[in-house]
Each structure stands twice: as C-alpha cells, then as structure tokens.
Amino acid sequence: MLIQGKKALIFGVANDRSIAYAIARELKNNGASIALSYGSEVLRKRVEPIHQRLEGDFLFQCDVTDDEAIARSAELVAEKWGCFDILVHSVAFANRDDLKGRYVDTSRQGFHLALDISAYSLVALCQAYEKLLNDNGSVMAMTYYGAQKVVSNYNVMGVAKAALEASVRYLAMDLGERGIRVNAISAGPLKTLAASGISGFRSILATIAERAPLRRNITQEDVGKTGLFLASELSRSITGEVFFVDAGYNIMGI
C-alpha cells in the first residue's frame, strides 16, 4: 500500500462525481485514513453517505471564505488527529454570469469572489494547517488549462487558476523547508457540479475527444490516481509543479 498509515484531509467533496471524491477513494484504497470537508450545509445529505462509504474518520463543513471556520476546522483536526500528512484542495467557484460572454465584462465583485474561493483559499488552508502538517507532507490543488491559455467562457476562472498555479509555486518554496511538497493537477474537462456552470462545456468535451493525442476524455479516476502519486513517496522530489492529466490536449498547437 503506497500511503499506508498516512492521514489525508480533503476539501471539496460535493457528490460522487467530485474530483475530491475520486482522490479520496484512491487515497483510502491505498492505505490512508481520510477526513472530508464540504462547503455548505445543503451538501451534508449528499456527502454523509459518501463519507460512510469511504469509511472516513470524520466529516465537517467549512466555507473556505470564512477565516474563523477554517480556524475552527484546524482545531477539530488537531483534536481528532493531532498531525496529518496530505492536504487536498479541490474547491472553486465563480458566478455563473462570469462564466460566459466576454472576460472584459467581469465585475469587481465577481472577480473578488472567484479569486477568493478558488485561489486565496489554498493560501488560507496552508496557513491554518501548516503546523499540523507532518514534515514531508503533500499538498495538492486542482487547476485547469484555462489558467495558461484562453478557453472560451472560462474567463475569470482562468485568471483565478493562474493565481492558484502561481500560489502553488510560492507555497512550495515556503513549505519546502520542512519537506512539504505543493503541486497542482491540471485536469481535462469532467462532468461535475462545478463544470455545469461553464457555458459550452459539452463542446469542450467533444473537442478534446477529437483533438487530444489520446483521442478521448479523461475520467475522475485518472485524476484520483495522479492524486495518489502526488500524495506518495513516488513523487518525493517533485514540488511546485502543474501536472496535466488531460489525455495530452495541452501539447497541441494548431
């Protein structure tokens, strides 16, 4: 078992299509103890059975825009586990109106919201949990191609993901002193709750199936397995990186 005895704290499970769920399952199946966090109380009914199925150690709600809630969650984790080894950030949000049309029309409020939930929250979680993370731990976040290239309708989320990817590099530098690694997975498009907010999502899937070197889309399980790799000793000297799990689509030019 690749991560036998490790403890993994996972933010961002909404349902069994969530990338966070796929990573949690993979980590659990490979020997880790897991704890799940979900964003809002309305998700509790969905997440509780998932937590039971995965035999998680504990489950808690935490809105990542709320510093007090994050601090309380860190107290809970300290009480339940003391220290832990793996932190998974799989959280993003932008107003639906900002995920269509022209980026130039993004409002100040919409920009702040998207950047706060989708990028700053990684910094906030690392800040709150740094002391609880064991030396040589692993932190991972989820990003997308739209951080680096223009993807129609992805708009403010692309800018938030660019900030997230840059944060991954700066956090890797700060936490690297204790051997803690920080990386991002850049997943190809997957049908999830978050993706349902993006206009024209279906046509993105069709384009990947036609143009990606592997001529297909990816699955949640593909991302889960990369999460396992990043959580494990197999990636012990890798930090500050963005890993594409996208059937190769990102390598293509015209």
Does the footprint of ligand NAD cover residue 154 (CB under 6 A)?
no
Q: Is 94 assigned to a binding site?
A: yes
30 touches 228 (CB < 8 A): yes
Answer for which of 10, 64, 125, 128 binds ligand NAD (CB under 6 A) is 64
Query: By C-beta, is 217 or 239 nearer to ligand NAD?
Result: 217
12 lies in the site for ligand NAD, by CB under 6 A: yes
144 included as an active-site residue: yes
Kindly indicate which of the ranges 72-80, 91-99, 147-155, 230-238 contains the residues binding ligand NAD, using the contact rule CB under 6 A: 91-99
List, in sequence order, the alpha helices (H) in 62-189.
67-81, 108-115, 121-129, 155-175
* Residue 219 in the binding site for ligand NAD (CB under 6 A): no
How far apart are alpha carbons 254 and 247 in whole angstroms?
Answer: 17
Question: How many Cα neighbours within 13 Å face the side chain of 241?
Answer: 13
116 is an annotated ligand-binding site residue: no
d(CA 209, CA 211): 6
Virtual torsion, Cα 108, 171, 73, 22, nearest 10 deg: 90
Among 195, 219, 238, 250, binds ligand NAD (CB under 6 A): 195
Q: Active-site residue numbers?
A: 144, 154
User: Would you tell me which residues interact with ligand NAD (CB under 6 A)?
Assistant: 12-14, 18-20, 38-39, 43, 63-65, 90-93, 117, 142-144, 187, 189-190, 192-195
